[in-house]
Amino acid sequence: MKRFWILKGLKFIIFAAGFILLGGYIIMHLWNWLIPSVFTGGIGFAQAIGILVLMRLLVGGWGRHSGHRGGCNHGFGEQRHWKERMEQRMAKMSPEEREKFKTQMKTRWSNHCGNWNETEEKKETV
């Protein structure tokens, strides 16, 4: 059993090293192809696409989370499930516990997902 994990770890290390080497090779060739033409004059369509690919490799990712706001932007199914679970939990709490929970959540998440305190105050004043 221990040998299985050693082989699995070795395969992971080899795969990770190969991935890093291949990524470095691709970025190096894109950089060497694009940067001289960018700084010496105009670029063509192929160079523009190359710059787009290079920037996505250097700055962003191609994963499913690109474009989301740090965990605040969930899909509708996830949001509905979360809302149902929270309603069940809130129903079991006393009014004092509910108010304490709300204030804790406001202070914890106000800077993460926009200013929650301002939106709650606007709702209360309207």
Query: Does 105 reside within a domain?
Result: no
Instruction: Round to whole Å and give the CA distance between 82 and 91.
Output: 14
Q: What is the pLDDT of residues 56-112, one digit of tens each?
A: 888 876 665 545 455 555 555 667 788 888 888 888 989 999 899 888 888 887 766
Query: Does 53 reside within a domain?
Result: yes
Query: Does 41 reside within a domain?
Result: yes
Query: Does 7 reside within a domain?
Result: yes
Per-residue confidence (pLDDT) for residue 17, from 0 to 100? 94
Query: Does 11 reside within a domain?
Result: yes
- The whole domain housing 45 covers 2-58
Reported as a pLDDT band with limits 50, 70 and 90, residue 121 is low
The reported pTM is: 0.42
- Lowest average pLDDT, out of 11-25, 31-45, 106-120, goes to 106-120
Query: Does 22 reside within a domain?
Result: yes
Reported as a pLDDT band with limits 50, 70 and 90, residue 15 is very high
- Work out how many domains the chain is built from and give that number: 1
Q: Which residue has the tokens 């250097």?
A: 58
Q: Report the amino acid identity of residue 70.
A: G
Query: Does 16 reside within a domain?
Result: yes
* pLDDT greater than 90 at residue 42: no
Reported as a pLDDT band with limits 50, 70 and 90, residue 10 is very high
Q: Roughly how many angstroms between the first and final C-alpha of the chain, as a whole number? A: 65
Query: Does 111 reside within a domain?
Result: no
Per-residue confidence (pLDDT) for residue 16, from 0 to 100? 93
Quickly list DSSP for the chain: -HHHHHHHHHHHHHHHHHHHHHHHHHHHHHHHHHHHHHHHS---HHHHHHHHHHHHHHT---STTTTS-TT----HHHHHHHHHHHHHHHHHS-HHHHHHHHHHHHHHHTTTSS-HHHHHHHHHH-
Q: Which residue has the tokens 């108010």?
A: 99
Share of the chain above pLDDT 90, in %: 10
